[in-house]
């Protein structure tokens, strides 16, 4: 595929991540992926480490882990169906091909994660997924089971309850007009849940405001719910199976 053909194929698809594919081609995703990357605290060097990216979407963070030297990267998501505008993994596969990447992929729900199905990984990314989980504590139990050393979790949070763990339940479209959003935990709740499922050390790494890119294409189904609230607070947590 030459550069012109790649540019045409990119333009046909709905993207969530903004991925630099080289040759001046950047996928037109609504997620400010580079800005988010700067908030996460991912180790600069991942040489010799295995990485699992849960909820990988178009694969920006999977490809970044590979770029940082990870020996193996597995991307997991539910790409089938039309939720958030997903197109049966077409965007992920195109980016993977354009980047000549060796990142692996598997279609699997979070609640189906297990060491038997995917293995155990040194570093696990769980980015922007927790608040979409109808059963968040059960989801974190599954995530813990496949984390060998460290988890990096990024999520929407609510400011409530002070130091007492608490969560807001969204039974409808209360958060960003998006019915796939179920929970708004406060930082204390995230830390408590992570410790409850077995992580021995948990740190809130950073809170930061969500930034939505401007000039979005109006046909981006996944982007539209986020336009209803541009001041969403996010937080990043680092958790370890053993104290470091």
Q: Between 50 and 78, whose confidence is greater?
A: 50
Among 36-45, 75-84, 140-149, the range scoring the smallest mean pLDDT is 75-84
Tell me the pLDDT band of 58, cut-offs 50, 70 and 90.
Answer: very high
CB-count exposure of residue 45 (10 Å: 0-12, 13-18, 19+)? exposed
| Angstrom distance (rounded) from CA 239 to CA 226 | 28
Domain residue ranges of the chain, discontinuous segments joined by +? 3-240
Using only C-alpha atoms, the chain has a radius of gyration, in whole angstroms, of: 17
pLDDT of residue 229: 47
Q: Is the pTM of this model over 0.85?
A: yes
Span 189-228, pLDDT tens digits: 999 999 999 999 999 999 999 765 544 443 444 444 444 4
Span 103-155, pLDDT tens digits: 999 999 999 999 999 999 999 999 999 999 999 999 999 999 999 999 999 99
Q: What is the mean pLDDT of residues 4-12?
A: 95
Superfamily of domain covering 3-240: Vaccinia Virus protein VP39 (3.40.50.150)
8 A C-beta contact, residue 108 and residue 132? no
pLDDT of 44 > 90? The answer is: yes
């Amino acid at each position: 595929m030459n550069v012109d053909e790649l540019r045409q194929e990119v333009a046909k698809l709905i993207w969530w991540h903004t991925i630099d594919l080289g040759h001046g081609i950047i996928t037109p995703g609504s997620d400010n992926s580079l800005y988010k990357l700067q908030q996460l605290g991912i180790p600069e060097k991942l040489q010799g480490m295995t990485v699992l990216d849960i909820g990988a979407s178009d694969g920006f963070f999977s490809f970044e882990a590979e770029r940082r030297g990870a020996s193996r990267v597995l991307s997991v998501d539910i790409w089938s169906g039309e939720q958030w505008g997903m197109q049966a993994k077409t965007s992920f596969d195109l980016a993977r091909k354009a980047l000549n990447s060796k990142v692996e992929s598997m279609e699997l729900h979070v609640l189906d994660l297990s060491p038997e199905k995917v293995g155990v990984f040194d570093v696990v990314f769980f980015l922007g997924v927790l608040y979409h989980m109808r059963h968040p504590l059960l989801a974190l139990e599954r995530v813990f089971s496949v984390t060998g050393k460290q988890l990096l979790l990024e999520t929407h949070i609510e400011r409530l309850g002070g130091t007492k763990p608490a969560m807001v339940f969204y039974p409808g479209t209360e958060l960003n007009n998006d019915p796939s959003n179920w929970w708004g935990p406060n930082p204390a709740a995230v830390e408590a849940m992570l410790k409850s499922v077995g992580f021995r050390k948990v740190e809130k790494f950073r809170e930061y405001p969500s930034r939505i890119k401007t000039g979005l294409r109006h046909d981006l189904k996944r982007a539209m719910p986020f336009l209803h609230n541009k001041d969403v607070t996010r937080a990043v947590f680092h958790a370890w199976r053993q104290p470091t």
